[in-house]
Amino acid sequence: MKKFLFIISTVLIFLSMSLLNSCERDTSLQNKTFPIKIKESVMYNEMFTFPVETELSIEGKSLNFVLPDGYKLITLLTDKDENERVKSFSKSSVSCECLAGKGCDPYMIGNQSGCSTDGTCSRCLMQIEKGAEKFYLKDAQIVNFNKPERFFTDEDDFQNIPSPKPFIFKDKDVLEHFYKFIEGHTNESDIEKLKGATINKIPEGYVMVPTEFLGKLIVVGMKKQGILGFFLDDSKGYNCSCGSGSGCTYESTWTPKGTIHYCSAEGCSKCTLQHEQ
């Protein structure tokens, strides 16, 4: 009887150790969720926000996402040599990679997601793939191509419209969308006269018009004649103000079809265009 119990105990110990080793080898089983379509927006690493109806799932070291139709994630990426480039995604995976220590894993809790730095990881980086290439995610912003351009009736109307990040205007689709929009409002003569203009320095006969573009707030120069909505009064002195975070500076991006003016969000979560009091 004692011999039988000894054999049973030995078998149980062996099975327990085998199961433990198996769990240690296959940690992806602990980090896996089925795809879900989110009903509320979810922020990723305080960097960008997945919109409602995005499909999210976690598998191993990666957070997989599929954006709703018409949305794109515009990313600022770096390669292993820290060269920057801009690429866009409608679906992909963001992986968490620890370069020093352990404990860099994807998470999704409530309306927050990203790479967790729990543990001993002192350098937890986000990695994204484009074809066979892998890049590190430096910054990102989601734009909505479904959103029609619109002008405003007064200054209060655009205070809650998010500001863009400068790199999104390097994306081919974003620029093409801007060209189609602005061609209906300016011509080559206007573009020439508006060279060097700013939100506080506008040529005679022209105005700076705040516009919602792809869900972000930009300002574009147009002829004053025919403008029915709100435009900036350059005598008031406009500037960019950060209500939460840091950054929010006035920027402009030149394009062959006209200059795009905006408050650059950078690290500011509440970046607004305001006139001086």
The pLDDT tens digits for 219-260 are 999 999 888 889 998 888 899 999 877 889 999 999 999 999
Q: Yes or no: say if 181 and 169 are a contact pair by the CB < 8 Å rule.
A: no
Q: The whole model's pTM is what?
A: 0.83
Q: Are residues 160 and 139 in the same domain?
A: no
Report the alpha-carbon distance of residue 206 to residue 257 in Å, rounded: 16
* Domain encompassing residue 84: 30-144
User: Residue 9 has what pLDDT?
Assistant: 52
Q: Are residues 184 and 136 in the same domain?
A: no
Kindly state the tokens that stand for 145: 């191509």
Residue 149 lies in a domain: no
User: Residue 228 has what pLDDT?
Assistant: 81
> Residue 208 above 80 pLDDT?
yes
User: Residue 25 has what pLDDT?
Assistant: 31
Q: Yes or no: say if 193 and 140 are a contact pair by the CB < 8 Å rule.
A: no
User: Last residue of a domain, which of 125, 144, 163?
Assistant: 144
Q: Are residues 185 and 262 in the same domain?
A: yes
Q: Are residues 76 and 162 in the same domain?
A: no
User: Residue 101 has what pLDDT?
Assistant: 87
Task: Please state the φ and ψ torsions of residue 138, each to the nearest 5 degrees.
Answer: -95, -40
Going by the DSSP 8-state scheme, the letter that residue 244 receives in this structure is S
User: Residue 103 has what pLDDT?
Assistant: 83
State pLDDT tens for residues 7-34.
445 544 444 444 434 333 333 334 566 7
Report the alpha-carbon distance of residue 81 to residue 136 in Å, rounded: 10
User: Last residue of a domain, which of 144, 169, 197?
Assistant: 144
Kindly state the tokens that stand for 174: 């974003």
Report which of residues 16 and 181 the model is more confident about. Answer: 181
Kindly state the tokens that stand for 37: 């379509």
User: Last residue of a domain, which of 114, 144, 174?
Assistant: 144
Kindly state the tokens that stand for 219: 């300002």
User: Residue 31 has what pLDDT?
Assistant: 56
> Residue 187 above 70 pLDDT?
yes
User: Residue 139 has what pLDDT?
Assistant: 94
Mean pLDDT of 51-60: 95
